[in-house]
Chains A and B, each alone.
Chain A
């Protein structure tokens, strides 16, 4: 057993080939997941049971099961049904990439919607009442009063969720996709040097995590600049 430096220098560029896919999965399912989360949030706080009950069930199921199981149900499970193979979605669901995006989106949507709800519930009631007293409609109050404050309150928790989404993208290597993790597993299978390869990959992932944290730290600072200037 030895630590092979040449192998590390040789494999880092190979693994970085997969960073495009890792980031693509992160951005695409992150954006779609956020959109889904907003829809779920509006259904959840609508006050109508036929909208909020299914949403609660959805969130309960997707937060209560492992993301790996969700990926397997979508990738391995759905082709069991003929009607899915005949449907217009088959070109997407046939590809591991489409399944990965779908699974990550559905999963992160459930988590983010709860985070956003936490933000909305944290908004001071007096502000909404003031909006009502000024004659703003429910929709206007939600867009101009609740949302800006709720987003600021939810940001720290949201940045943690983006990091867990980034970590979840590594699971797509289990359904044959060659992201950084997939490439690393291939190299380890060939060279049998887990320490060299996996530790280098850990460093790459840590840099991405750090980048996400810095970005959100900057956004948080910008969004709460009026709070700081008062203090």
Chain B
């Protein structure tokens, strides 16, 4: 444990990076999931096949491959575009933070697509008809009726998606994001205590996933609060 002295603040700030990536990726995941589910339920054939392609590709290929493709792919595209304007530029990339958050959100978003699709289908059609009868617009029906009824159904599987998301953040160290694994590798180089350092990373992730699991329990309680009375 002595080896950790002098590294505590590095581990703390790198955990903050993990949390930041998680929050950005979570927002994007919900966005991609809703767009994907919308496309699958739209009845539009083109939108349906694009959404199907999306879920098949991102659920069937390794996360690390998607991450590297997006990071290096965006880098050569950006470099090529930049060279049109200024031939002096040798290399331009998306910051690993944004490329990484985007990549893991794309992956987990493909799982969220299926979850949201199922949850939207699970909404009682009577409630939607009632909203129509009350004269609510399609948009208002979506925001005030479908979403609140849907997220109650989607919450338990979505909790698992959040756990995948936090665990996938570890991969972003591969493209150079200075998060906990990156710090552990640095700390190992100076202290020669790899086990201590990597166990520390494991402990950080275990605490973060515990916090997520507990938050989901609280959220589920909140989402089902109107059912409490009936019990």
Instruction: Name A's B-contacting residues (CB within 8 A).
Output: 1, 60-61, 63-70, 72-73, 76-81, 163, 166-171, 173-174, 181, 184-185, 188, 192, 194-195, 198-199, 201-202, 205-206, 209-210
Contact = CB atoms under 8 A, between A and B. Distances in A.
Contacts of B64: 170-171, 173-174, 181
Interface in B48-96: 56-57, 59-66, 68-69, 72-73, 75-77, 80
Given A69-B181, A167-B62, A210-B60, A194 B167 contact: no
Nearest to A212: B60
B188 A76 contact: yes
23 contacts: A61-B202, A63-B163, A66-B168, A77-B195, A77-B199, A80-B192, A80-B194, A81-B195, A166-B62, A169-B62, A170-B62, A171-B62, A171-B64, A174-B64, A181-B65, A185-B68, A194-B76, A195-B73, A198-B73, A199-B69, A201-B65, A202-B57, A209-B60
B152 interface: no
Contact of A192 (B62, B76, B174, B199): B76
B142 interface: no
Contacts of A169: 62
Contacts of B60: 163, 205-206, 209-210
Interface string B167-205: 111110010000001001000100011111111011001
B141 interface: no
Contact of B56 (A73, A201, A206): A206
B206 interface: yes
A167 B73 contact: no
A92 B73 CA distance: 37
A204 to B, nearest CB: 9
Contact of A64 (B63, B171, B205): B205
Contact of A67 (B76, B167, B199): B167
Contacts of A68: 170-171, 181
A198 B202 contact: no
Contacts of A170: 62-65
**Chain A residues touching B, majority SS:** helix
Contacts of A1: 76-77, 80
Interface in B137-151: none
Given A79-B194, A194-B68, A195-B73, 19 more contacts: A65-B206, A66-B205, A68-B170, A69-B170, A72-B181, A73-B195, A78-B195, A80-B196, A167-B61, A167-B63, A170-B62, A170-B63, A171-B62, A174-B174, A181-B65, A185-B68, A188-B72, A205-B65, A209-B59
Contacts of A73: 195, 198-199, 202
Nearest to B77: A1
B68, B168, B188, B209: residue with the most chain A Cβ atoms closer than 10 Å: B68
Contact of A61 (B57, B76, B174, B206): B206
B210 interface: yes
A100 B105 CA distance: 26
Contacts of B174: 174
B198 A72 contact: yes
A157 to B, nearest CB: 12
Nearest to A70: B202
Contacts of B197: 77
Contacts of A185: 68
Nearest to B62: A170
Contacts of B62: 166-171, 181, 205
A143 to B, nearest CB: 31
A194 B69 contact: yes
Nearest to A78: B195
Contact of A202 (B61, B199, B205, B209): B61
Contacts of B163: 63-64
A60 B214 CA distance: 13
A144 to B, nearest CB: 33
